[in-house]
Amino acid sequence: MAFQDIRKSRKWLSGEEIRLLALVLFVFVALLAANIALARLVPGGEWFFLRWSGARAFWAAQSDESAEGLKGGRSMPEGAGEILVAQTRPYGTEIAQQTQEVAYGRPAFSSEYTYVLNDPFFIVLLYTPLALFQDFALARGIWMLLSEAALVGTILFAFRLSEWQPPRWLHILLLGFGLFSYFSLNALVSGTPTIMLTFLYLWILVALRSHSDELAGALLPLVAYQWEVSGLFFLFVLFFVFANRRWRVLAGFGMSLFLLVVISFLIYPDWGLPYIRATISSWQRAANLTFSQMLSNWFPDSRFSMGRTVSIVVGIILFIEWLGSLNSHFRRVVWAASLSLAATPLIGFAIFPSNHVVLLVPFVLIVALAWERWQRRRVLTAILILFLASIIPFGLYLRAVYIYDPLVNDLISALPPIAAIVGLYWMRWGIIRSPRPWFDRTGDQA
């Protein structure tokens, strides 16, 4: 048997491959530099600052840093006070006060959100690599770059789950919309983890579709928080798992959750009670930001609780749609999951506009179904949907900036999920494969 000398068979990179790698490296460095520059120039990043500060405060307390570290030499974002945090705990009020300075430029009013850290500690630990950077702008720039990559991955996953391959020009337009729409930019500037959560939601759905049940279960603990975004989606996944007897998902979920909880308690044994207190406090202070409160402001003379009525009706409709997704093709499962994400802000959780980036999932599904539904006018329909979804949020934002109007601010919060629900039901015929209404067929023949 002849043996070949691997030194002679080794193939070095070709000149074209080296140039391609150099181009990729150059683009990466340029994007990173651009994001760091934006992080220094554009105020905000409050949601990321909250988690970054929590992770830094914990490790500073563990290492007993002196005045050189968090004690006084920490680089704070513009507008945040220089506060001594050597003894600060992740769930302490000091970090909430600092985050309020970043978000509002002052302490929060009684009617405003207080930015109390209410993530499980095993989630806070995931911010440790970025917490090693004392310069907040540098850490924020890296986080923004990772979030942008997650947005691109979200759009690509959405194409795959919609079972749709758009033409190249529409592919580019949707990627651009995913990065530069109002709610995407809002999420990037504020540093919300919802972008990462959205990517994980779709990754879980992709794993379920491919029957990678252990992977889907292992990812579930990573989305088991921030219930104002994850609540209904998490319940829907559990409903899907139990209804279809996909017990390996539960096995993966249990093992992953057990491992994360054990590690977190070994590192910080006392985090449980402060986390529960912070969660309760956050829910209480967010009562003014719910859809129910908006309805009370719009209809102050109502004789019954409109918010509670809406929550009950939405809950019943969702349960019916969840039942309808059983024993159906997986695209209807994706439709039901998208409906769950869109309906979550309407059932009593606090509404933050930066969380509406999650609506990219139903948006791509709506465009895909519209593309399939109207064969002759598909280009016009897709462009019209993209135009309206791009221009209306920016128009409302500019109106709110130049003319203070509480109604406009409420519309920025409440209109997107309602529009997503309407769009999903508008395209529901394409999901259940029912005969198209007569006026749709007439429109195609015109």
- Residue 82 counted as domain residue: no
Q: What is the pTM of this model?
A: 0.88
- Residue 160 counted as domain residue: yes
Say how far apart CA 233 and CA 218 lie, in whole Å.
Answer: 16
- Residue 400 counted as domain residue: yes
Q: Which residues contact 102 (CB under 8 A, 6 or more apart)?
A: 43, 44, 45, 46, 49, 77, 79, 80
Angle between helices 306-325 and 330-343 (to 10 degrees): 170
- Residue 72 counted as domain residue: no
pLDDT in tens, the chain (446 residues): 555 554 555 567 777 778 888 888 888 899 999 999 999 999 999 999 999 999 998 888 877 544 444 444 445 555 444 433 445 688 888 898 999 999 898 888 877 888 999 999 999 999 999 999 999 999 999 999 999 999 999 999 999 999 899 999 999 999 999 999 999 999 999 999 999 999 999 999 999 999 999 999 999 999 999 999 999 999 999 999 999 999 999 999 999 999 999 999 999 998 999 999 988 888 887 778 889 888 888 888 877 788 889 999 999 999 999 999 888 889 999 999 999 999 999 998 889 999 999 999 999 999 999 998 888 888 999 999 999 999 999 999 999 888 888 888 889 999 999 999 999 998 887 676 644 443 444 444 43
Provide the β-strand partners of residue 135.
75
Are 363 and 303 in contact by the 8 Å Cβ rule? The answer is no
Say how far apart CA 229 and CA 345 lie, in whole Å.
Answer: 7
Please give the pLDDT value at position 432: 67
Say how far apart CA 394 and CA 9 lie, in whole Å.
Answer: 58
Burial per residue of 258-291, b for 16 or more beta-carbon CB atoms within 10 angstroms, e otherwise? eebeeebeeebeebeebbeebbebbbebbeebbb
DSSP 372-435: HH-SSSHHHHHHHHHHHHHHHHHHHHHHHHHS--HHHHHHHHHHHHHHHHHHHHHTHHHHHTPP
- Residue 64 counted as domain residue: no
- Residue 70 counted as domain residue: no
Q: Which residues contact 330 (CB under 8 A, 6 or more apart)?
A: 161, 208, 209
Taking every pair of Cα atoms in the chain, the longest distance, rounded to a whole number of angstroms, is 92
Burial per residue of 233-255, b for 16 or more beta-carbon CB atoms within 10 angstroms, e otherwise? bbbbbebbbeeeebebbbebbee
Please give the pLDDT value at position 328: 85
Judged by DSSP in three states, 440 sits in: helix
DSSP 333-347: HHHHHHHHHHHGGGT
Say how far apart CA 365 and CA 165 lie, in whole Å.
Answer: 12
What domain range includes position 268?
A: 136-286+297-433
Say how far apart CA 191 and CA 44 lie, in whole Å.
Answer: 8
Please give the pLDDT value at position 352: 93
- Residue 394 counted as domain residue: yes
Say how far apart CA 15 and CA 258 lie, in whole Å.
Answer: 49
CA dihedral 55, 59, 65, 68 (to 10 degrees): -30
- Residue 443 counted as domain residue: no
Look at the chain and report how many structural domains it folds into. Answer: 1
